[in-house]
Structures are given as C-alpha cells and as structure tokens.
Structure 1
Amino acid sequence: MKLKSLILGSVAAAGLSTAGFAADLGVLTSLDVCDSLGISGLTISSADNCLQITGGVKYEFNWGDYRGAYVYAGILGGASNRDTMDNDGVSPSELDWESQMEAWLKFVGTASSDFGPASVTLKLKEIQETRVQNETLMATDDAKALTFDEAYVSVGDTTTLMAGKKGSIANFGDDEPFNWLGLAGSDWADKGVKWDILNGNLDTGGHVIQVVSAVADGVTIKAGLENLDDTLPAWAGTAVGVLEYAGEGITAHITGLAGGILDGNVEAWSVHAGMTGTFDAFKIRGAFAAQTVGATTAWHALLSGQGTFDMFTIALSGEALGQTGLNTDWGFGGSIGATVTEGVSINLGAKYFDSNNAGGRDGYQVAAQLVAAVSESIKLTGEVGVYGDITNSTSDFYGAAELAWAPGGGFTSSIKGEAHQNGAYKVTFKAAKEFK
C-alpha cells in the first residue's frame, strides 16, 4: 500500500505542477505552426518549426526450390528477358530461401519563409537481405547499412527549389497496361514502357538540384540536374526536364533526359511520354519511350484501353519494341473481370509476345484468378495458369494461393504458396507497417 500511495501521489503532484512548466514544454504542446502550414500526422512543433515524423518496416521471407528460370519470351533477341520460376535441376533437390528486411525513418522539418514553406528532409533507410541458392550463400548477397536515403532542403510553394540527395523529378507514369496480366515487354520494363533499353548507366536521382513550378491550372514544369554524384565521370550529371498536365479526366506528361553532361559530352538521350484519359466508363492510355546512345536508338510503345459494363470490366493492350539494326517485336494482351457477388470477383486473362529477332522467343501466358473477401480484414486469392514457350514447344502449368490479412492500424501481412509443373515451388510470407 505504501508503494501504491507513493505512485498515486507522484502522479497527482505532476498534474498539479503542469501549469508551472507548461511553457517550457511548448515543443510538445504547441500545434499552431503545424496547423498553419497544413501539416498533419505525427508532428512536434516549436515556436516556428514543425517536425513531421514518418516511418515503416517491411519484411519478406521466401522458401522453396525456385531459383531456376523457365524462359517463355525473349525481347529484342534477349533469350532470358522474361522468365518464371523453375527448380535447379539438381537431384536430390536443394532448397533456396531469402530473408529481406527494409526499414525507414523520415523527418521533415518545416518553417515559414517569404518564398513559401522552407523544409529540410532527412530519411534514414536500411535494407538487410540474405539470399541462398541450392543451400549455398549467393555471392550477390546484399546488406546495406543504415544510411541517408534522402537528405535535402527545399523552399517554395507554387515554385519549389530543392537541393541535396533525393529521388528524381522525372515522370515515368501513365504507362502501365490495364489488362490484368499486363504485357511481356511491360513486365520487362518493370511495368510500363522502358526508357533505358540500351544502357543502365543513365541514372536519375542521387545528388540533385531541382526546380518544380505550377505555371497554370493543371500544368507543371520541372527542371533539374541529377546524378551529380555518379562515380563514372563520363556519366555524371543527368539533365531532366518534365512537362505535366492533370485535369478534367486527363493526366499526361513528357519527360526528357540527357545523361553524362558534366564533361560536356552527352552520352545518351532518353524520352518518356504517357497519357491517360478517363471518360465515364472508359479509360484509354498511350505511352512511348525511346533512348539513343551513339548511333543506336531503341524504342518501346504501348496502347491500352478499359471499359466497365455493369458487373464486367474488359481491357485490351498492345505493345511494340524496336532497335536500330533489329526487327520489331510486338505483343498483346486482354482480360475480363467480373464481380460475381459482393466480395467475390474473378479475372480471366491472356497475353502473347512475338519475337522477330535471332535468340528471341515467342511466348504466352493464360491464367484465371478468384478473389474472395472472407471478412473485412481477410482476403483469399487463388490463381491457375500456364506459361508457354512457343519457340521451343514447352509449357509450364502453375497454381498459386494467397491469404492476405489487414486487421487495421496500417498493418498488412500475407502468406502465399506457388507450385509449378517444372518442379519449382515457393512459399512467401510478408508483413509491413507504416506510421505517419
């Protein structure tokens, strides 16, 4: 009882004395600066600065026998541009696994200035990854120590100046196909049209100086010098220019890049353009990207449309890729989705790729998917399908099932199992949480 009385007395004394030192704790109690700047979320404010804090953790674990490659399409003569899971072909089977953790913590301190909000952004990020193939640690095992993923200053409102370490202002959006399975070339481009087909040395982001200005209703102009910290002197410095429009059901942009400008010799030129129009029940999207390095030019174009009719959604997409000295590759895909009942939907889709260059492969994928909301927080997804390598007359049937759980509070997790006719199989567990 004496300990309990002591604790209760301490709490009461602290409450009575709050008025005496509340002014000294203004950093914790004042929200006026954050409110005036329109900043919400987890914040701490002083007399003239607002500090916003966000962060998150993602974890993923994979296990099975899956680190082979079943190639079903080759793009611009590359035989291994599109591949799916395969086993290692070793008997007895040897296992593969991967454990990856990604964590980040971001601080944005903002104050008012004569030119608009003035901010400093500091984002700490760490990635830890261990990959094992055939029960042997891979030589490409990756572990990135805690570092500043972003560290830059900015000032302005309708026109903003930014400098330091951050991501690119380049707009590479409005280029993903609407059909459920996408397209082979689009997947190769990491969803969209590929603007760096010829050379991976044309980098963006990193150390930057950037200006973004909203010049008219829905129109934004961006300009910047990026990749100023490239360790390859010939490729240091990427000039980026962007023109964007957003409004009245239309989003569109064109992005231009010139790489390696610091030494006075441009090593590569690239362009990326995309447009999406939404008209009642219909959507249409077109995108184009091209790159020139020396005397060689490569390009990638995409056109996609989607229509919603009562319970059905139908989408069709097509793409083409070309390069100096090579024939044109092309592909198409389509899907139909239907809401069977509340919380239950199905998707049917197919895609085909036609390679017209030596070393390439013609291929296809056909699949069906069922998505069922078991409850408000649990979703079950099942999928069956087949990949086909037409050039080599082989096929790979597969099946997958995933259970996703989102109980609220920003927490998400899932477990997925996938098995292939070629002997590959994989179990994947994911969990993530962010705060802001």
Structure 2
Amino acid sequence: MKLKSLILGSVAAAGLSTAGFAADLGVLTSLDVCDALGLSGLTISSETNCLQLSGGVSYEFNWGDYRTEVPVARTFDGNRNISVDDGDADWATKVEAWLKAVGTADSDFGPAKAVIKIKEVDLTRVRNNAGAAPIVDNDGERVGLYIDEAYVSVGDTTVLMAGKKSSIAELGDDAPFNFLGLFNSDAIDGKGVGVDGDYTGLGGHSIQVVSDLGNGVRVGAGLENLNDDTPHTAVDTSVLGNVAGLVGTGAVNPARAGTLVGVLSYAGEGITAHVTGLGFGFLDGNIESWAIHAGATGTFDAFKVRGAVSYWDNFKFTTADVLNALVSVEGTFDLFKIAASGEVANVTNSAVGDYTDYGFGGSIGVNVTEGVDINLGARYFRDGLNSLDTYQVAAQIVAAVTETIKVTGEVGGYFGNSIADNAAFANDNVFYGSAELAWAPGGGFTSSVKGEVNSESAYKVTFKAAKSFE
C-alpha cells in the first residue's frame, strides 16, 4: 500500500465523526482517481481527473573550428561530412526545455485524455567569429517558444486521437547493428532506410485511430499534416539534380498538405515487424507522392536478424523514385559481439539519371574485462552517381570508471578516391580522434564533455547537461 494512502486513510478515519474533516475525505477520493486509472509519477488530481506532469531541460555548448564541412560520402539523401579548418572559431549555445501535462479521466469508451506539451529551443550560433541573425530554424528544428503537442484522445484497446501530435507511422526496425553504422543510413535523419525525418509531413494537425487486435497485432490509420505548417527538409540538389531548386522553403504549400497514414505492426515471440504506407498531399484531391516503409527484427537466442525496405515515389517532390533496403545481423558469443550490415539505394527518374548506391560494414566487440569494452569496425560506401568510394575504419574503447562515470575514446580514418579527388581536403586521407567523459550521478541527471580533432586541423569541444522529470 502506498504511503500516501496510509496517511490519508488514517486522516479520513480520524475525521469521520466531524464535518471539519469532510474536505480531507474528498482529497482521499481525488487521489484515488490516479490509482484507479493506473497512473503514476508526478500527479495532481481532482474528483474526476488525474493530471500528470513531466518535463525536462537540456543544455549544449560547442566551441572550436568545425562548422566548415566537406563531404566524405555523398548519398542520395544527404552527405556524410567532415569538418575542415577555416582559420576562425565557431561556437553555439543551446537550451532546450519542455513541459508536458496529460489530464486523464474515465469514460464509457476508456481513458479520455487531453495532452499539452510546450517546448522552447533557445539557440545562439556563431560562425567564424562573426555575428549572425536570429535563428528561427535549426536544420528543420523549430527555434523559440511553441506548442509542440496539443491533442485529445479517448479509448483503451482502440484509441481515437485528434489535434497536434506526432505521427502514428511505424518507421523502426531499420537501424544497422554494427557500431559504425552505414553511410547512407547515417545520412537519413534517425538512421535507417528513409522516410523517418526525411519529410516533416508526418504528424502535425492530425486525426488518428489505432487499435490493438490482440496477440501482438496493432493497426492504425491517420490523416496527418493537415496544416502543413512545419519546416520542410531541403533536398541536396547536387545529388538529385533538382533544377527547380531546394524543396523546403518552410512555407505552407496546399499541394503538399495532408498525409494519409496506414500502419500494420506485430510484436511478440522475439519478433517485431511493421508495414507503413504513406500518401502525401491528398487535401487537394491528388496524391502528390507516396511511400512505403517495412522492417522486421528477429531475436533467436544469441542472434539478431534485421531487414528493412522503403520505396518513395516522387521522392520529396523531386520526380525521383528511390528504393532503399538494408539488412543486418548480430551474434553474441560470451565475450564477443559480431555484427555485419549491408545497404543499397536505387534512384530512378532523377534529373541526373538513374544510379545505385550501396555499402556494407562490420564490427567486432570484445568485453576485455568487467566494465571495459573494445569495438573494432569498418564500413564502405559506393557513390553510384559519381563513381566514388569511401572507406572508414575505427577503434573504440568504452570504460566504466565508476558506476556513474564512463569514458569513451575513438580513433579512425577515412580513405578512398572520394577524399583523394576532393580538392577541399588538404590530405588524401582524413584521420580523427575523440574522447568523451560522461557522468550520470542519478536522479535523471546526465552530463558529458567531448573533444574531437582531425588531420584537417578542425576541432570541437562539446559540453552537455540534461535532466527530466515525470
């Protein structure tokens, strides 16, 4: 029995004979609302509603000479960049804070909720010791104070949701297991085989229904991005050859407003899998672009197997069509962990013609002693558009110095004609090193400091601190 129930129960029992303690008995009843709904954490309750509060603050400071970047691998969906020295200091300071309130009451159809999440991103960024205009968009991330979520929902096994919220699209089960990852996967926001983070037409003003059918099966359908007021990710025109310019002005575009979302997923017996279908820009009566994303992960004793594929017709409204696939396996044997991954991306109907990118990578992890792990990895990428190759090798050590302090060090290098043929690099190969000290003393507080340097004379120091509550 919870301590608060014991205390309030005693108060209520002692006050039954007097009218003066009637209010205390009412408090007991209201506090039981959260328990009856199965809600916990930081809560405030009335006679019929339970209000849950959560929030968090994070801070990040960067300093060095790092903001001038050159691609070491150019993929269909962006570049893997390396910082180079340009002679002047760069720095950035960023505070991110959020506060979320969820009010829940019982209904005949299940829990009825109202959710409000307020978020602020305060960012100052300087390049080459020069002043800068106020930042309102940080590479697709909003800056300033705004309402991140505001929606209502009702239901238990079947839930109806309406308002401003995140997407119901299932886009996971597609990240490679090897510790370096894969080049094209890294270029995609969130890693994987596309869609996730590529186009911000997911979520926003939405009407959604999800239903748990039992035995691990879940289905969902939604109308999302009905307002089309979110910043759009810009397309790298040098990759796709979009002669019309960048897609992603941040302005409302009626032709792109409205996204149809359908989801079928399964989780159980060591297997997770999903299929998500997306149709972009339906509000004007025409589907301007569509995509499908599927992924599955199976865990079998010491082995994990993962496969994922996505296809995007009219990729980010550039006329190009992209098929992107990934497979990854991992095996754990006593002190060793071995992983291998491969990826392929086929681009057709682009302004620069048809081409195929592909890559693979592998790693081996060794548990040297308790609290000390060593990871050795390599990966390769073939830029099919420009016929360029990129290799990366790296060695990493992770040591738990104490229960709250962890040290991570990594050294490595990039090689291949993608670097040798790039005049922006002073050397044919680029070597790098980094060291990070992370501290997690408990209470949800985390902090770290990291230093990075490479053979192009670029360097960066990053300090982070964060705390959340619920």
TM-score (norm 2): 0.84
Amino acid paired to 1:336? I
CA drift of 1:20 comes to: 3.7
1:203 aligns with 2:204: no
Question: Of residues 246, 252, 262 in structure 1, which corresponds to 2:273?
Answer: 252
- Cα pair distance change 1:302/1:222, threshold 3 Å: same
Structure-2 separation of matches of 1:87 and 1:21 = 72
**Cα contact 1:402–1:414 (8 A) shared by 2:** yes
CA distance in 2, matches of 1:361, 1:82: 13
Question: Could you tell me which residue of structure 1 aligns to residue 179 of structure 2?
Answer: 180
Q: Which residue of 1 aligns with 2:342?
A: 318
The answer to whether the aligner puts 1:378 opposite 2:405 as a matched pair is: yes
Match of 1:356 in 2: 384
Letter aligned with residue 340 of structure 1: V
Q: Secondary structure at the match of 2:277?
A: strand
Q: Give the Cα–Cα distance (whole angstroms) in 2 for the partners of residues 275 and 204 of structure 1.
A: 21
Spell out, residue by residue over 1:136-173, the C-alpha distance to the aligned partner (whole angstroms, 9 max, x if none).
Answer: 13457337332210000000000000000000000110
* CA drift at 1:266: 0.7
> Whose relative contact order is higher, 1 or 2, with alpha carbons under 8 Å and at least 6 apart?
1
SS in 2 for 1:23: helix
More strand per residue? 1
5 Å-filtered alignment, 1:127-146, equals 127-139=121-133, 141-142=135-136, 144-146=143-145
Q: What corresponds to 2:214 in structure 1?
A: 216
1:412 has 2:436 as partner: no
Find the residue that maps to 1:195 and give its secondary structure: coil
Say if 2:284 is the partner of 1:263: yes
**Correspondence for 2:434:** 400
Quickly say closer, same or farther: Cα 1:311–1:422, change in 2 above 3 A.
same
The 3 A distance-change label for structure 1 pair 180 and 53 is: same
Map Cα deviations across residues 81-103 of structure 1 (whole Å, 9 max, x no partner).
Answer: 11122222xxxx21000111110
* Distance 1:389-1:22 versus aligned 2 partners, 3 A rule: farther
The count of corresponding residues between Structure 1 and Structure 2 is: 412
C-alpha distance in 1, partners of 2:444/2:332?
Answer: 30
User: Is 1:275 paired with 2:331?
Assistant: no
Q: Does structure 1 retain, via aligned residues, the 8 Å contact 2:380–2:390?
A: yes
SS of the residue corresponding to residue 355 of structure 2 reads coil
Structure 2 portions without partners, runs of 5+: 1-13, 138-142, 229-251, 421-427
Q: In 2 relative to 1, CA 140–275 (structure 1 residues): closer, same or farther, beyond 3 Å?
A: farther
The equivalent of 2:118 in structure 1 is: 124
5+ residue gaps, structure 1, are 1-15
Larger mean CA deviation between 389-398 and 415-424 belongs to 389-398
Q: Does 1:304 align with 2:313?
A: no
Deviations 1:254-311 (A, max 9, x none): 1000010011011100111100000000000000011101863111100000000110
Q: Which residue does the alignment assign to 1:194?
A: 194
Please say if residues 136 and 144 of structure 2, whose CA atoms lie closer than 8 Å, have aligned partners that are also in contact: no
Secondary structure, counterpart of 1:328 in structure 2: strand
What one-letter code is carried by the residue in structure 1 that aligns with 2:188? A
Pick aligned residue for 1:328 from 352, 356, 360: 356
The structure-2 alpha-carbon separation of the partners of 1:56 and 1:202, relative to structure 1 and needing over 3 Å to count, comes to closer
% identity of equivalent residues: 62
What is the alpha-carbon distance in structure 2 between the residues aligned to residue 326 and residue 319 of structure 1? Answer: 17
| 2:369 equivalent in structure 1 | 341
Matches within 5 A, 1:14-33: 20=20, 23=23, 26=26, 30-33=30-33
Confirm or deny: 8 A CA contact 1:332 1:351 kept in the other structure: yes
